[in-house]
Structure 1
Amino acid sequence: MREVFHQALEDIQNRLVEIAELVTVAIDKATTAFESGDVSLAEEVIADDARIDELALSVDELAIDTLAMQQPVARDLRIIVSALRTSASLERMGDLAEHIAQLARSRFPERAIPKGLKGTFVKMGKLDVEVARTLVELLRTQDLAYAASIRDSDDEIDELHASVYEKVLSEAFSGDVGHVIDAALASRYHERFGDHAVSIAKKIVYLATGDWTGRADGEPEVEVVDRTVIPGV
């Protein structure tokens, strides 16, 4: 029975990695579409989000079946519950990429980025793509150094997010109300994308170390008993 349980956990992990890979593609395409006004690329992101939703649902179903059949307790139960929450966060990250793509599509043939904010949004886009790629590696390897990298990148995204609000609310900003709304929404989507990645990273750090602060830089604050989040992998 333990072998069956470990196989189920491995399957769950593989599906989470697959979802994270699709989310990476989605945010890469979405930010490119937002920056360039490429409506075809935006349409691809919007259409492909259904696949992310489908895979997230399959993870949830597998996790629930595993709970019912194996009735895990203690750490095994925490792993399954964390997988369910991770699936939800990944699905939401896909939705946020879709929202960015929808902004690009709604402004076509113009570009959605307000004048004077292109550099800021290009940086935010690159950071979100970097966060997504790092998250894939974290889910695949459970190497906690990736968790620290995600947190650091999210700090940069938060700073850029704050700067967007400062710019659009300043007297020097020349955009109209529509530009202000687009900028505020896009900035919020980028910021929330990073937040969800940090949330996933914290769960993995907790499972590996017992530390819920999510700090994975340097030595763990508590002893690491088992750094493998998904047994048998």
Structure 2
Amino acid sequence: MREAYHVELENLATKLADMSVQVADAMERATTAMLDSDLELAEQVISDDTLVDDARADCEEQAYALLALQAPVATDLRVVLAAIHAAESLERMGDLALHVAKAARRRHPDPVLPQDVRKYFSDMGAIAVRLARRTEQVIRTRDVEAARSMEEDDDQVDDIHRHLFSVIMAKDWEHGVPTAVDITLLGRFYERYADHAVSVARRMVFVVTGRMPGYSSAESDAV
């Protein structure tokens, strides 16, 4: 019975890791769609978002069933609780990629971004996708040090996000208010995506150590 139970726990972790792959692919495609004004790719991200939603529902259903039927304790209980929270964060990462794709669709065929900020979003996109792919590995391996090291990439996204405000507030900004609003929202989407990836990694630290790393006020659950 216990062996079968632990197989179920590993299956749950595998589903979370697979969700990480889904949301990494979604943000990678959404960023490309935004930078290249690729409507077809944006539509793919938008249509595939339901798959991420379904994956979260599947993870939560399995987690709640394990809670109800198996009454897990100690480490096993931490795995189930972490899975519930991680599935929520991963689903929100999918939503944030969706928002980027919708921005690309809304502005098509015009570019979403002026040339002078494209590099910032290219960099944030690359870091965000890297964080999501590292999240997959952390879930599969429960590597505490790898989980903790993700904070550095998150800090890079935060730095770029803050710098964008100085760009759009500069006296020589010439792209108008609507573009500044788009950039503000898009920057926030990438910043939140990175925060959620780190949140999932911290849940894995909790699984292994029994202690939840501290959260800053910037890491609320709001999308």
What band does the TM-score fall into relative to the shorter chain?
Answer: over 0.9
Identity score, percent = 38
How do 1:51-130 and structure 2 match up within 5 A? Answer: 51-130=51-130
TM-score (ref. length: structure 1):
0.88
Contact 1:134 1:149 in 2 (8 A): no
Secondary structure at the counterpart of residue 116 of structure 2: coil
- State the alpha-carbon separation in 2 of the partners of residues 175 and 20 from structure 1: 35
How far residue 212 of structure 1 moved from its aligned partner, in angstroms, is 2.6
Contact 2:30 2:45 in 1 (8 A): yes
TM-score (ref. length: structure 2):
0.92
Q: 1:210 to 1:66 in 2, by over 3 A?
A: closer
Please list the CA deviations of residues 203-233 of structure 1 after superposition, one character each: whole Å capped at 9, or x if unmatched. Answer: 111221234337xxxxxxxxxxxxxxxxxxx
Matched, 1:160 2:160: yes
- State the alpha-carbon separation in 1 of the partners of residues 37 and 91 from structure 2: 25
User: How many residues in Structure 1 have an aligned counterpart in Structure 2?
Assistant: 215
Letter in 2 for 1:192: R
- State the alpha-carbon separation in 2 of the partners of residues 145 and 48 from structure 1: 32
How far residue 78 of structure 1 moved from its aligned partner, in angstroms, is 2.0
- State the alpha-carbon separation in 2 of the partners of residues 148 and 55 from structure 1: 26
Residue 173 of structure 1 is matched in structure 2 by 173
Contact 1:96 1:189 in 2 (8 A): yes
Letter in 1 for 2:55: L
Contact 2:26 2:94 in 1 (8 A): yes
- State the alpha-carbon separation in 1 of the partners of residues 91 and 52 from structure 2: 6
- State the alpha-carbon separation in 1 of the partners of residues 75 and 136 from structure 2: 23
Of residues 184-193 and 173-182 in structure 1, the stretch that sits farther from structure 2 once superposed is 173-182
How do 1:184-199 and structure 2 match up within 5 A? Answer: 184-199=184-199
Contact 1:114 1:183 in 2 (8 A): no
- State the alpha-carbon separation in 1 of the partners of residues 145 and 42 from structure 2: 33
Structure in which a larger fraction of residues adopt helix: 2
How do 1:24-63 and structure 2 match up within 5 A? Answer: 24-63=24-63
Residue 221 of structure 2 is matched in structure 1 by none
Contact 1:34 1:101 in 2 (8 A): yes
Q: Please give the root-mean-square deviation of Cα atoms over the aligned residues, in Å.
A: 1.5
Where does structure 1 lack aligned partners over 5 or more consecutive residues? 215-233
Contact 1:115 1:175 in 2 (8 A): no
- State the alpha-carbon separation in 1 of the partners of residues 145 and 113 from structure 2: 33
